[in-house]
Structure 1
Amino acid sequence: MRSLAEAQPPIALGALDGRYRAAVAALVDHLSEAALNRQRVNVEVEWLIHLTSQGAVPGVRPLTEAEQHQLRAVVEDFDLDDVAELAEIERETVHDVKAVEYYLKRRLTAVVGADDAKGLAELIHFACTSEDINNLSYALMVQGATQQVWLPRATALVEAIATMARDLKDVPLLAHTHGQPATPTTMGKELAVLAHRLGRQVRRIERAEYLGKINGATGTYGAHTAAVPSTDWVAISRSFVESLGLTWNPLTTQIESHDWQAELYADIARFNRILHNLCTDVWTYISMGYFAQVRGQGTVGSSTMPHKVNPIRFENAEANLEVSNALLDVLASTLVQSRLQRDLTDSSMQRNIGTAFGHSLLAIDNAGRGLAGLDAVPEAMAADLDANWEVLGEPIQSAMRALGAQGVPGMEQPYERLKELTRGRRINQADLQEFVRGLGLPEEVQARFLELTPASYVGLAPQLVAYLEQPTAQP
């Protein structure tokens, strides 16, 4: 049998780069290996421009605007040929960041000329350890992936759920606590709870900080001050990090501590877990007949049972959320640990960030498509409500308690009397109304409960949907 490993172009090993590529392709521009190298080139270019424009090294001329533009064009025009060239250099250096330095030195000659390049080239990667470049690159990558890809998709999903909540705010629903019939609510209010929870996480993620540092091999500016002691390297470091749109971290070892990453991944994982809750709830509502799935033309529900339309979007989302959270959890717990001033566990770990985001993004896509294919079935919800009149025991005994507290006679032991009527058996409208008439309630209270039905006993559920906030993704 011929090995598939020899196929060209190469066959994807993982599902994200194979079966599900279309749903997650937007992340490639931010969290792929090629995106990492492009961002490294960007950071090195900006560091060179910053050093020369700030006069950090006396006697070195600043780059002209045209030269700065040409260097930044190296980043803008970074393509597959550049990826291949970097890979070729890395085969010689056996060091990915050093390969970027050599790659840029080649480009610098074309920008400033051979004579100037001899001196300026030594300011590429000046006083930097690899982690100075990598931590900034990852911060920019994760920031871009979060703000430009993940947040807009997550926000659109929350808005879709919120819209469903508003549309269904008046549709009565028999609640189930512990799997048992419970106080009625509305489908809209229950969806609003989930939209509100998800929206809170979106807003937390919108406020995330992305930290960075550029302070040398052990975070002391040792090489900087030894080489050029007259320069305020702390100020240069801070202004550079902030010029990239990041938050400056003043105290680090060789590595930026990655605490911000752990915080962000915990928030995304929490969003994932709430979304998983939504998927299992909606799956259950589908199984109860409260939602009908709108079959897309040509789709097959089951390979053997023609009547079936399986809730595969929600099941797919559940699985991908679990994979994403497993990765996010291990990233968050591992990245905040480092032996003494540096070890390389973070280097290997961070290469899985794209996979963690990818499975979350895929789940968001599937959940959204699943929700878009649903039609509410109010008749099914109404039938379950009508079969469970015993849920009205709660409001009746609550009213009796209030009346008893007000001194109305004959209202003793309301809970126990309703328990005897309702526990362990089904009652119908006639049973309940007969019971109500025998309680000795004040006339207006009795009239109110004779008109009450499980479908009308929803409290303030429809009004509560108005408390939903609409999250707004950052551009």
Structure 2
Amino acid sequence: MSSFDSYSSPLSSRYASKEMSALFSPRTRYSTWRKLWLTLATAEQQLGLDTITDEAIAQLKDHVEITDDEIRAASEQEKIVRHDVMSHVHVYGIAAPAAAGIIHLGATSCFVTDNADLIFLRDACDILIKRLVNVIQKLSEFALQYKDMPVLGWTHFQPAQLTTVGKRATLWIQELLWDLRNISRARDDILLRGVKGTTGTQASFLTLFDGDHVKVEELDQLVVELLGFKGAYPVTGQTYSRKIDIDVIGPLSSLGATAHKMATDLRLLANLKEVEEPFESTQIGSSAMAYKRNPMRCERVCSLARHLTGLYQDTVQTASVQWFERTLDDSAIRRVSIPSAFLTADIILSTLLNITSGMVVYPKVIERRIMSELPFMATENIIMAMVQKGGDRQICHEHIRVLSHQAAKVVKEEGGDNDLISRIKSEPYFEPVWAELDKLLDPSTFVGRAPQQTEKFVNVTVASALEPYKNLIVSEKVELSV
């Protein structure tokens, strides 16, 4: 049967990076199980178990990377025994016959499945952190480039006071920095389940070491050290607590909210024709409307972000229904939701990296929109200037109120341009400030401290946050595969 005859997840087949797809692949999973069995045997031998020979260790080491044929053989064995871990114990034993009798010695299935999952959580966070750091870096460069460019601000998606293109970008960056903090914190908190036995009591290992509690504790610590972790959870049931999944997937869900907000802003800006995502020379926007430049990258981000934020509920619900030392209704859903969360976050960040590497700004459109609203915003400045020339504030307010309503009627009812300034220039009452009107309408005087805020934020706050990750920053542009 062709591979085109069965469903495959678009997360891995269409969108996700090779790096993240490989991490959650069967080969990585089963090879990691073998690494765990090798580590356990090595630690047990070092602590005095004579039944584990050097030959056994050598054979386990020689076959720690599983082959295609062995994956197929384990799959066939699982059809017989209905147990995935024991199927792989059987196949590993065939590859390493000198170790066949000591593979999985004293362990329960969760020694390999749960410890492997914790390794995957840690390594997957590392992949995301690298992507996120580079999105923040690209967006920071954009913010500095456009820190001085005035743009119409929006509240309630209604015209508001001016900001700058760069200052608006800092709002996205700030949330991404929080996501970096949250994902890094969750990553650094991940420990191993360690060597705990069937219900977490280490009873089987206590038997192996003839009741020597110190040796059992040393075994737990040695396995942790050999696997490069800083520690193991001090107590577990058969599994590590599924609240750990909440702690890790929660920050990914929060990242989804950040990404959705940023991508939505860019979609709205594309409609306003002020800022657009990259658009390739051969890209087709619509099969019917050849002129269109649809924001498909941002739409992809929004679409997948909704999926990512929803996966958080899987972890919460699963953790809440674990009975006593464990129940198996966590297994199937975790096989789906945890890889899905990381693959989805990986796709979102890769797409954002592509977007932030090539955003296009249209200054003339931005300027035209500013000037369509600025006359109304400048009325207070004009009143103040008239008062300085000796005018009465209340009389001036009434004059400008009448002219403003006349101009608003032209805009709203007649579809014309905002002609308030022309009306002011035609009104003799305002002659004392006619020469100052251009200065009073300079957009740069309406942006407050936006340029200074942007520069300080990027050069101080962002620079400080990215300092620990500076070796992860790369310069190349990320291309979308599809």
TM-score normalized by structure 2? 0.80
Aligned partner of 1:80 in structure 2 is 68
Give the aligned residue type for 1:223.
S
Aligned partner of 2:411 in structure 1 is none
Aligned partner of 1:225 in structure 2 is 206
Give the aligned residue type for 2:200.
G
For 1:236-247, list aligned pairs within 5 A. 236-246=219-229, 247=231
Aligned partner of 1:196 in structure 2 is 174
Instruction: Check conservation: 2:260, 2:305, Cα contact below 8 A.
Output: yes
Q: CA deviation at 1:455?
A: 4.2
Give the aligned residue type for 1:376.
V
Q: CA deviation at 1:265?
A: 0.9
Q: CA deviation at 1:382?
A: 0.8
Instruction: Check conservation: 2:131, 2:353, Cα contact below 8 A.
Output: no
Instruction: Check conservation: 1:387, 1:428, Cα contact below 8 A.
Output: no
Aligned partner of 1:259 in structure 2 is 243
Task: Find runs of 4+ consecutive structure 1 residues off by over 4 angstroms.
Answer: 66-70, 393-400, 409-424, 430-435, 446-450
Q: Deviations over 1:216-267 (max 9, x none)?
A: 1211122222442124223321332343233310122221003232112111
Instruction: Check conservation: 1:152, 1:473, Cα contact below 8 A.
Output: no
* Equivalent pairs, count: 444
**Pair 1:183–1:416, CA change in 2 (3 A):** farther
- C-alpha separation between the residues in 2 aligned to 1:448 and 1:299? 45
Aligned partner of 1:99 in structure 2 is 87
- C-alpha separation between the residues in 1 aligned to 2:396 and 2:46? 81
Q: CA deviation at 1:35?
A: 2.4
Aligned partner of 1:53 in structure 2 is 46
Q: 92, 108, 122: which one pairs with 1:143? A: 122
TM-score normalized by structure 1? 0.81
**Pair 1:294–1:212, CA change in 2 (3 A):** closer
Instruction: Check conservation: 1:389, 1:453, Cα contact below 8 A.
Output: no
Aligned partner of 1:459 in structure 2 is 448
Instruction: Check conservation: 1:215, 1:221, Cα contact below 8 A.
Output: yes
**Pair 1:9–1:284, CA change in 2 (3 A):** closer
* Structure 2 SS opposite 1:173: strand
Give the aligned residue type for 1:360.
A
- C-alpha separation between the residues in 2 aligned to 1:31 and 1:413? 73
Name the % identity. Answer: 19
- C-alpha separation between the residues in 1 aligned to 2:253 and 2:160? 30
Give the aligned residue type for 1:132.
F
- C-alpha separation between the residues in 1 aligned to 2:152 and 2:35? 57
Q: CA deviation at 1:419?
A: 8.2
Instruction: Check conservation: 2:270, 2:276, Cα contact below 8 A.
Output: yes
- C-alpha separation between the residues in 2 aligned to 1:48 and 1:255? 20
Q: CA deviation at 1:212?
A: 2.1
Give the aligned residue type for 1:229.
G
Aligned partner of 2:196 in structure 1 is 215
Give the aligned residue type for 1:291.
V
- C-alpha separation between the residues in 2 aligned to 1:43 and 1:416? 81
Instruction: Check conservation: 1:182, 1:391, Cα contact below 8 A.
Output: no
Aligned partner of 1:3 in structure 2 is none
Give the aligned residue type for 2:83.
H
Aligned partner of 1:24 in structure 2 is 17
Structure 1 residue runs without a partner (length 5+) = 1-5, 404-408
Give the aligned residue type for 2:173.
A
**Pair 1:328–1:24, CA change in 2 (3 A):** farther
Q: Given the alignment of the two structures, is residue 171 of structure 1 paired with residue 149 of structure 2, yes or no? A: yes
- C-alpha separation between the residues in 1 aligned to 2:37 and 2:384? 72
**Pair 1:306–1:9, CA change in 2 (3 A):** closer
Q: 302, 305, 308: which one pairs with 2:289? A: 305
Q: CA deviation at 1:145?
A: 2.1
Instruction: Check conservation: 1:389, 1:428, Cα contact below 8 A.
Output: no
Q: CA deviation at 1:297?
A: 2.9
Q: Given the alignment of the two structures, is residue 272 of structure 1 paired with residue 256 of structure 2, yes or no? A: yes
Aligned partner of 1:354 in structure 2 is 339
* Structure 2 SS opposite 1:219: coil
- C-alpha separation between the residues in 2 aligned to 1:413 and 1:127? 92
Instruction: Check conservation: 2:118, 2:190, Cα contact below 8 A.
Output: yes
Give the aligned residue type for 2:146.
L
- C-alpha separation between the residues in 1 aligned to 2:295 and 2:157? 20
Give the aligned residue type for 1:201.
D
Give the aligned residue type for 1:461.
A
Q: CA deviation at 1:399?
A: 8.5
- Whose helix fraction is larger, Structure 1's or Structure 2's? 2
Q: 103, 107, 116: which one pairs with 1:128? A: 107
Aligned partner of 1:321 in structure 2 is 305
Aligned partner of 1:36 in structure 2 is 29
Instruction: Check conservation: 1:175, 1:185, Cα contact below 8 A.
Output: yes
* Structure 2 SS opposite 1:176: strand
**Pair 1:161–1:100, CA change in 2 (3 A):** same
Answer with 378-387 or 423-432: which moved more. Answer: 423-432
Q: CA deviation at 1:334?
A: 2.0
Q: Give me the CA root mean square deviation.
A: 3.7
Give the aligned residue type for 1:128.
A
Q: CA deviation at 1:308?
A: 1.0
**Pair 1:254–1:309, CA change in 2 (3 A):** same
Q: Deviations over 1:300-330 (max 9, x none)?
A: 1111112111111111121112122222432
Instruction: Check conservation: 2:179, 2:251, Cα contact below 8 A.
Output: yes
Q: Deviations over 1:449-471 (max 9, x none)?
A: 95353343111111222313153
- C-alpha separation between the residues in 1 aligned to 2:397 and 2:241? 57
- C-alpha separation between the residues in 1 aligned to 2:360 and 2:263? 16
Aligned partner of 2:359 in structure 1 is 374
**Pair 1:293–1:46, CA change in 2 (3 A):** closer
- C-alpha separation between the residues in 1 aligned to 2:399 and 2:224? 70
